[in-house]
A and B are shown apart, each in its own frame.
Chain A
Amino acid sequence: MTMEKLENIPHISEISNCGVFSGCRAKRRETFRERSASSDKVLPSIEEAIRRTGLRDGMTISFHHHFRNGDHVLNQVMDVIAAMGFHNLTLAASSLAAIHAPLIEHIKNGVVTHIETSGMRGELAEAVSRGLMDCPVVFRSHGGRAAAIRAGKLHIDVAFLGAPSCDPYGNANGYSRDDDSSICCGSLGYARTDAKYADKVVIITNDLVSYPNAPWAIPEYDVDYIVRVDDIGDPAGIMSGATRYTSNPKELKIARTAANVIEASGHLYDGFSMQMGSGGASLATARFLREKMLEKNIRCRFALGGITGQITAMHEEGLIDRILDVQSFDLDAAMSLKKNHFHHQIGATYYASYLFNAAVNQLDFVVLSALEIDTNFNVNVLTGSDGVIRGAIGGHPDTAEGASMSVVVAPLVRGRIPTIVRHVGTVVTPGEVVDVVVTEQGIAVNPRRPDLAEKLAAAGLCVHTIEELQQKAEALVGVPSPIRFKDKIVGVVLYRDNTVIDTIRQIDEDET
């Protein structure tokens, strides 16, 4: 066969091509098994993987938080990075837990100089609140983070992603198809964004399974290297067997009221959609909704978000058609993801990105928790009554804005600490998108939603003003002395569109 000269082909400049054929790649003759055993993506150590990624001082590295407080990946990788002498890194985790306290040393030693996360707890959060870092920590919602990564505002150089199963080519998942006894975290939704957009991706797994590890959360073409280690996490800290419904009568009372609010709002119709946040009362709301669904003989089209065994049980019962799972909260949820075809794993972008018509925009309602709610309906889920960081934004503002109705459930007071206050310590979700507040002592509807107030009143629900609830709380526990802060800004809170919505200052503990 004689190949025409390219220039002799009419319109060749308009036809997409890569030049003239010059021969195939060398044909491989090993068996499939032999090829798998010699995959050049699988590296012997984390150190080798770091070296191969080309990590340099000043770069951004990322981790996911699907292992919650049982995560052993982040600390393990950071110890190696520190030992290799890197400095001035930005750590962009989808969230951080109490177990990540060893980061304090890495920050003191200059290994990590900036952090981006959804939240923070424990000793690290305490230290940051006391001014540990020069550069403020950036707090983003899950949707905000996904949007920032996609838009290049948060560029990840190297992602280190723990995975309970991975094959030699990098197809990784949050559970193992072959084995129920190994570590399991269910959905790897937040990690999928990192895998897709990071320059280099390293999967850290304890279970190297044979190709193809289908179904996968992360496809092999997004993965550069794989390291098998013995320990990626503590199963007990990653997830417990099943999130039990609360038996706390106060939480049950709140949950029952929230379910009544949802019914009265008109959002409980055949084919509705919903999301239940974490927290005793919001999870328990599902139980009362279930009773109403059975009574009315209606079904939910889809449940979104962090998924628990309660939601999957309703799916298996035929009450919920589809589950969109960005994060599995318990083992029952993870097992359902594995066995139920219509329990579907989604990534952070699909879930909540501001840049798309994300799944949160299809919600009828979301039930969310709060640390504080103020009389302008602003919600704080990030800092405690002492000003110390002790929470995570999660999908709070994403779902509150996306859903037709956002319901925030919280006790009026927690011990001696009021929940309904004049001003929240930190605005995470602005009052514009918070529609109804449910406490055990009454319901308040945002004056921006007279339509909802009218429907609730028509259903015979007793609606208070938020000021009345605030006054009730104040009558019970009084007015706490104001928290003292220093001038230094230790945290910057971004709204889901990545605009700055609030700042967190260093707490002042000096003797006065």
Chain B
Amino acid sequence: MDFATRALHAGHDADQWGGASVMPVVASAAFSAKGPDGLEDLFAGRAAGHVYGRLSNPTVGALERRWAALEEGARGCAAFATGMAAVSALFGALTESGDEIVASSSLFGGTRAYFDTALRRSGVTTRYVDPEDLDGLRSALSPRSRVLYLEALGNPRMDVPDIDAWAAVADGAGLPLVLDTTLVTPALFQSRSRGVAVTVQSGTKFLTGNGTVLSGAVTDTGRYRWGDFPGQAVRDTAKRTGSHPALLVYLRTVCRQNLGAALSPFDAAIALLGADTLDLRMDRHSANAVALAAALEERDDVPSVAQIGLASSPWHRRAAEYFGNRWGGLLTFRAGSRERAFAVLRNLKLARVQTNLGDARTLALHLESTIHRNQDPAARAAAGVTDDLIRVSAGLESAADLIDDFTQALDGAGSES
């Protein structure tokens, strides 16, 4: 089946739910078994079924099958309450004190904050490298390296790393490449065929869209043999389960069960509705982002615009190859000064000032004063954040209305002297 069809149909068997077209919300904290013997069989794994909502739920299970089906060839997916819960669960599975990860320096501020605080305090060191510096990447690897971590489209730098090259380095080192595909979703990028072992996504963003519920996903693309993983927790799991399910078993039965960041079945049902329209939405988000970026690029009072659909983007050609001439819904532009950036944001009438992206409505944000405010200058520079930078998540409105809104906002903000 093609992507758009899988995004609509996978994971839900209507015949099992009275013919319901849409997967119902199963609002039950716990589930009965056939007496104590049946419950013991479920706990022992000898029977398939649900026990308690922190571990699994029918609605959440349908969403996990839907999300897994978006990634061709994937073994499965584990859903979490938020994108950061998914990221932290994954590193809880793959690392322990004394381990190292090698990560791109072009990262979402929330991920970087997690690596530099909670993960660091658990004894795991992150070595950051410029994603274009492949020699630096190779030299950053050590015997304690466990994971290579990258974003398919850097947020907010709007750069597209050489994922093929990172995957080759990961393969050579016998390590899994983990890719954050939040900004592009599987609609634009199929990870397994490019050598990616695991993807993480904030389901809150484009994957669900609409700006509704928080959620997160870890997807095992099926490419990595977990019995060969150097980290002890997942490798030991593989000895008991075989390689193929080891990561997801550990994520579900240790990370989610013990740490508790389970996704609500209500939120899972809304996320399923969002997945229905993913392919359509990504078309419109991409078209609107490029149209707005092109209009901003025409202005003399906008020093720079970053959107991978623009021919001026250094990553345009690579993005076209990876993402099939769809460009994602994000763009950034510089307003000339911090004060003018604030004035532009105050003047917007249609676009909303929010710290989110992937909403059906267009959102705009000053990054230096919000998501990146606690970063040191070097980290901020590596992420491409200047004090006049505005990030825009293009929504699904008419492109003409969006361009009009930003035009009047910039005109009303005066020119920067």
* A pairs with B: no
Interface residues of B (CB under 8 A from A): none
